[in-house]
Amino acid sequence: MDRRQFFAASAGAAAATLTLPSLATAQSATIVDLAVATPDLSTLVTAVQAAGLVDTLAGPGNFTVFAPTNRAFEHLPHGVLDSLLADIPALTNVLTYHVSGAYYPASAIIGQRGRIPTVQGGYIHANGRGNGVHLNGNVSVTTADVMASNGVVHIIDAVLLPS
């Protein structure tokens, strides 16, 4: 899959503060539909649109997206988000690092430790042992298993940056 055909980025607030679409709507909606319907993911939606990844993430697939909240983007160093939005190849690199072309529901991660391949070409290190699921050491999944018609979304509390 072409890198420009991808989705998602980074992260944010506690699960209790997220406004998610109803489960009935979610299971018939694509990943993009879910993100658009979730106010706490509006920065991610803006980034996905800027990178030209909407059609890919709305299309057929069995994606896993680690979606950062607006608050996660706010915690990036000053100017980083604006720089990414102005540099589409760099933005695409970051966003595609948040997406796997394979299906990883929480049940496949909890109790496990390993690497999840990303559309970007790198790996996210996942640790589902202990208290919750942590990615790359310090990023937490705050809401797991938001099911979409073309995959699953896990809301995260920080933006994942490829190394």
Domain parsing of the chain, residue ranges: 15-156
pLDDT digits (tens), the chain, 163 positions: 322 222 222 222 223 233 344 443 446 799 999 999 999 999 999 999 999 999 999 999 999 999 999 999 999 999 999 999 999 999 999 999 999 999 999 999 999 999 999 999 999 999 999 889 999 999 999 999 999 999 999 999 999 999 8
Largest Cα separation within the chain, whole Å, is: 39
* Residue 91 · residue 97 · CB < 8 Å: no
- Among 111, 105, 103, smallest CA distance to 132 is for 111
pLDDT of residue 44: 98
pLDDT of residue 27: 62
- Among 47, 63, 40, smallest CA distance to 149 is for 63
pLDDT of residue 7: 26
pLDDT of residue 163: 84
Q: Kindly state which CATH superfamily the domain 15-156 is placed in.
A: FAS1 domain (2.30.180.10)
pLDDT of residue 130: 86
* Residue 95 · residue 118 · CB < 8 Å: no
